[in-house]
Amino acid sequence: MTAPATISRRNLLFGRSAVAAQADRAVPYLAVVGDGCLARNKVDCQSCRDVCPEQVIGFRPRAGGPFLPEVDGDRCSGCGACIDICPVGAIALAERSGDAADA
């Protein structure tokens, strides 16, 4: 028995199949969080994580400050939802390389 295909809330809402969603992974861009990020500057902000339809942005703890953002480059579809919500414009789309991106 094979495992059922998973589909994001975004794709379910827009009526896209798991196959179409997988095709999005071929997009050569992914989100990258820059140094201007509020969380990287010890200000508590996780807006990008909250809006990400693919749930690929996570925050890891660090001593003495807010959590640091991390983007799972293998799962990022490059949709850009995080770019629009970032209050300081610290997120951009970068060309995907052969390596997994670590923001």
Q: For the chain, how many structural domains are there in total? A: 1
Judge whether residue 54 has pLDDT over 50. Answer: yes
Percent of the chain's residues with pLDDT above 90: 54
Residue 2, in any domain of the structure: no
How many other C-beta atoms can be found within 10 angstroms of the C-beta atom of residue 93? Answer: 17
Dihedral Cα 83, 85, 88, 90, nearest 10 deg: -30
Q: What confidence tens digit (pLDDT) does each residue in 10-42 have? A: 666 666 555 555 545 566 899 999 999 999 998
Residue 38, in any domain of the structure: yes
Residue 14, in any domain of the structure: no
Judge whether residue 101 has pLDDT over 50. Answer: no
Range of the domain at 38: 27-95
What's 38's domain CATH number?
A: 3.30.70.20
